[in-house]
Structure 1
Amino acid sequence: MAVDTVIYHNPECGTSRNALAMIRNADIEPHVVEYLKTPPLRALLVQLIERAGMTPRELLREKGTPYVDRGLGDTSLPDDVLVDAMMAHPILINRPLVVSPLGVKLCRPSEAVLDLLPADQLGAFAKEDGEQVVDVSGQRVV
């Protein structure tokens, strides 16, 4: 299906891989941006954060990043400093961030991507850990 969808993806991340697989399970081939190799420009990152209705702090990833070493837990730091840190260390950008005609969202948990897809799932889907997310009729499992 020709739907303009972008996923800011880290192939080493299970959540990101699951979100990508659900996009494809809706017969949508997204533009995959491996943001650790090709980070978004600063203006685009700021725009994505705003469109997602988030703050830069809400997009910051702590686990496996220089978050603590850079003192980013200091809640008095202004947004510009946090964005600068993400630009200097893209691993600080949480993932997967998905852009579709229905909006922009940090898809954690991965099944949050289903809210952004303008097409139904083609069939059953289970996450890598075996958790069933979509049933055989393509409906979200609640």
Structure 2
Amino acid sequence: MITIFHDPESATSRDALALIRNSGAEPRIVLLRQAAPPRDRFVDLIRRMDLPVRNLLRIEHPLYEALGLGDSDCSDNSLLDAMLRHPELIACPIVETPLGVRLVRPAEVVLNLLPNAQAAPFAKENGQPVIDDQGRRVDRSSLE
């Protein structure tokens, strides 16, 4: 089972979801901005991603500054409390598969978590190619 903690307003999240579907999978979609996961589930996801709690904050969101979350004295518990009260502060997408859990930024990071190969060529919403017509990942360095 694949789960994506998704924000349909985020191009990165939409691209990651499309890449999951391009592998033939239909994930369980959790709309992150509507409700944060339960605290114990969120803490487990963070632990499995092996990321500092602070790395999951959307620092560009106005609430980040308004709530003083940039203060170095803010504990992990305080940051978690803020993200759970205001799920719009949680960076996304977060994708969970049998191969692991990751904060998927950029979207093509999701390819490392998918058990099945891509079924068709794929380009991000911005037109950047990710998968070629042979089902191979496009090397960005060859495009520059």
When normalised by structure 2's length, the TM-score is 0.94
Give 5+ residue unaligned stretches, structure 2: 140-144
Match of 1:129 among 126, 129, 133: 126
The residue that corresponds to 1:43 in the other structure is: 40
> 2:78 aligns to what SS in structure 1?
helix
The residue that corresponds to 2:64 in the other structure is: 67
Distance in 2 (CA, whole Å) between partners of 1:50 and 1:74 is 22
Structure with the largest fraction of helix: 2
> 2:64 aligns to what SS in structure 1?
coil
2:2 equivalent to 1:31: no
Distance in 2 (CA, whole Å) between partners of 1:19 and 1:132 is 13
Give 5+ residue unaligned stretches, structure 1: none
The code of the aligned residue for 2:27 comes to: P
Q: Per-residue displacement from partner, 1:120-141 (whole Å, max 9, x unpaired)?
A: 0001100000000111111111
The residue that corresponds to 1:54 in the other structure is: 51
> 1:105 aligns to what SS in structure 2?
strand
- Cα RMSD between the aligned structures? 0.8
User: What percent identity do the matched residue pairs reach?
Assistant: 47
Q: Per-residue displacement from partner, 1:17-65 (whole Å, max 9, x unpaired)?
A: 0000000000000000001113200111111000011111011111234
